[in-house]
Amino acid sequence: MKRKITEEELRHSIEKKIKLTFWGKIIHYGVVGYLIFIWGMFLFIQLMNTGNGQVKPIHGGEIWVIMVLILLIFLIYKLQRQRLKFKSVETGLKRK
């Protein structure tokens, strides 16, 4: 006998997310952290170059790198966050 999920149960399951431990979060969001590290090091190097005497201008290519990295960080974060949500799937399996 197939039991239908009520609207309230469906809404509750969609709103819930899988709970991760600290290390689970580190592993799950590791790619985002790695990209933030690259972005931060890029900005740090740029700031260090401005403080070491002769100011080096930021070129157009470097601005594109910063913008693409920010967009990539945001998109991968949203993707990883979306993967933690429960989804309701109807099947014909019988419960024993």
pLDDT digits (tens, 9 = 90+) for 22-32: 888 888 888 89
Range of the domain at 68: 18-82
93 is a domain residue = no
56 is a domain residue = yes
Alpha-carbon Rg of the chain, whole angstroms? 22
3 is a domain residue = no
**Confidence bin at 49 (pLDDT 50/70/90):** confident
Cβ neighbour number for residue 3 with a 10 Å cutoff: 6
Structural domain count, the chain = 1
Residue 94 structure tokens: 């019988």
pLDDT score of 1 more than 60:
no
On the CB side of 26, how many CA atoms lie within 13 Å of its CA?
A: 3
90 is a domain residue = no
67 is a domain residue = yes
76 is a domain residue = yes
57 is a domain residue = yes
